[in-house]
Amino acid sequence: MMLMTNLEEYYSIGLMSGTSMDGVDAALIKTDGLQKITFISSATVDYAPRFHTLLKKTEALIQSQNGVFNEDQLILGEGVSIQEVVKESTNYHTQAVQKILDYFPADRTKPWVIGYHGQTFYHQVAQKKTVILGLPQTLATNFQIPTVFDFRKNDISYGGEGAPFAPLYHYALCTNNKLTPAAIINCGGISNISFIPNDDINKIQAFDIGPGNTLIDRLVRLKTNGSMMMDVDGLFGKQGKCQKNLIQTLIDKTCIKNLFYERRGPKSLDVHDFQLPQEILNLSIEDACATLADFTSYLIVQSIAPLQLNNIVLSGGGWKNPLILEGLHYHIKKTLPKKEIRIDYADSFGFRSQSMEAELFAYLAVRSLKKMPLSLPNTTNVPYPLTGGVVFQSSF
């Protein structure tokens, strides 16, 4: 399929595998990269437990070498190279694309594109370095669909944070649905916010807030010697007591980036920017999970306290932990008692929480083809609106 950048709307498949490394989310939309967005379908491919372990070990290896590596390096104790892990990751992404096309076969008379984020293994803004691996040419060739990859590289090379990249898609969703002033708060491994005050795209604010589930997940793995990966449905935390006297300790000690929580955005985080202080490790697993969930909620509310909001849209898997959601309502009532704000899941607003990140890379792929900005000064701290992404052609 030939690349056609002059046509207004594209069928675009977005692919996302997040920091949790539990699978691939895929979404198909039809969009012009501006306000026209039609959702068509979504799909998920879960990673096998063995492959999840390989990804985590690959991440640990690349982290230990400060993002410098050789693709032929073997993963410690596995006898598998980084290159082989990347190939298998691409195979999972291929399965996700195929599931989409099985549901909605590609009309080859229309322009198509794939937005392939890849798997993040390392992200350090101070080094101007991000390691996101995948084989985009494989997807482009296998499906004969142009594939956009390396969305964040240009942003970082121009002094940007490289994240968050969701705000332009969030802007389109919120303005199309007349929700402004609104905040979309994503809670995954990390929590982040897109604030859309009105129809002026230059007024968007966006930044990473703090931990979502990453500290809870890490604590559960430690306390259970790796037999459990997370606090499923907040079951541990529900049995514990939140130690609110530790909030300031958590503010002071959980983030290795100096005074990150006090800084104004744009600002970004990597899951490896967090650490568990000894005061938390000394608690029972139940009390620690309850306290960390409350900490996530507290930081989110502190970030929205100065904003004028009518709607708060909740997206991401972190909200499946009921203690984080309960904490959000508690801290909003305590901090913003006079504000009437609708707070609800993305699905209740007509969006799709599960596939939103995949949708946004489908959207950004079209913007990349059209050389439109993917990031703004007020979202990632780039000097001016900046495009990005590398297009891998389906035909040579």
152 C-beta neighbours (distance < 10 Å), count: 24
CB contact burial 70-79 (16+ within 10 A = b; e otherwise)? eeeeebeeee
Kindly state which CATH superfamily the domain 178-349 is placed in: ATPase, nucleotide binding domain (3.30.420.40)
Nearest 5°: phi and psi at 211?
-70, 145
Sign of the alpha-carbon dihedral angle for 79, 82, 85, 87: negative
Q: What is the pLDDT of residue 109?
A: 83
Structure tokens at 91: 């195979």
| Tokens 């960390």, located at residue | 292
User: Is the separation of the CB atoms in 303 and 194 below 8 Å?
Assistant: no
User: Is the separation of the CB atoms in 28 and 38 below 8 Å?
Assistant: no
Spatial CA neighbour of 145 closest among 104, 204, 88: 104
User: Is the separation of the CB atoms in 226 and 279 below 8 Å?
Assistant: no
10-163+354-392: CATH architecture: 2-Layer Sandwich (3.30)
Q: What is the pLDDT of residue 337?
A: 79
pTM of the model: 0.93
CA distance between the termini of the chain: 10
CA 131 to CA 117: how far, in whole Å? 11
List per-residue pLDDT tens for the chain, 396 residues long: 445 555 689 999 999 998 889 899 999 999 999 999 999 999 999 999 999 999 999 999 999 999 999 999 999 888 899 999 999 999 999 999 999 999 998 888 889 999 999 999 999 888 889 999 999 999 999 999 999 999 999 999 999 999 999 999 999 999 999 999 999 999 989 999 999 999 999 999 999 999 999 999 999 999 999 899 899 999 999 999 999 999 999 999 999 998 999 999 999 998 899 999 999 999 999 999 999 999 999 999 999 999 999 999 999 889 999 999 999 999 999 998 777 899 999 999 999 988 999 999 999 999 999 999 999 999 999 999 999 999 999 865
Spatial CA neighbour of 134 closest among 111, 116, 118: 118
Q: What is the pLDDT of residue 6?
A: 54
Q: What is the pLDDT of residue 396?
A: 53
Question: How far, in Å, are 136, 154, 170, 323, 376 from residue 328 at the CA level?
Answer: 39, 35, 21, 8, 28
CA dihedral 9, 13, 17, 23 (to 10 degrees): 150
Spatial CA neighbour of 355 closest among 36, 52, 12, 7: 12
Cis ω for the linkage preceding 181 (within 30 of 0): yes
Residues in contact with 140: Cβ distance below 8 Å, sequence separation at least 6, in sequence order: 114, 146, 147, 392, 393, 394
CA 186 to CA 313: how far, in whole Å? 8
What are 159-203's pLDDT values in tens digits? Answer: 999 999 999 999 999 999 999 999 999 998 999 999 999 999 999
Q: Do the domains at 10-163+354-392 and 178-349 have one common CATH topology?
A: yes
Q: Are strands 182-187 and 311-315 parallel, antiparallel or unpaired?
A: parallel
Using alpha carbons only, how large is the chain's radius of gyration in Å? 20
Nearest 5°: phi and psi at 129?
-140, 130
Per-domain residue ranges for the chain? 10-163+354-392, 178-349
